[in-house]
Structure 1
Amino acid sequence: MAKNRSRRLRKKMHIDEFQELGFSVAWRFPEGTSEEQIDKTVDDFINEGIEPNKLAF
């Protein structure tokens, strides 16, 4: 059954247009991976996955 809720209540409950979705990322690099390679991988992920999709981190 649909409920009519005020904008303030929808915002407080994080529903409808205020719904927030998320995901987690876990990194595992082989032992001996250089700090530069790790930085490049993380930067590439941000530049190619996060920013083009207008996601926040």
Structure 2
Amino acid sequence: MQNRVIKLSLFAMLLSLVTSCEVVGDIFKAGMWVGVIIVIAVVGLIIWLISRFRK
């Protein structure tokens, strides 16, 4: 249980380091397809993390 809390805390800290405006600006500079790939990767990562913590 404590290991799970540590992992979630580290993940929350990582998310707080990246501001959403910076990310959106970089995606628009890189192009639409890069943005689509990033969104798919983030959604996949979230689904994977949720499935790992449910076990």
**TM-score of the pair, normalised by structure 1:** 0.38
Of the two, which has the highest radius of gyration? 1
Which structure: greater helix fraction? 2
Greater RCO (Cα-Cα under 8 Å, separation 6 or more): 2
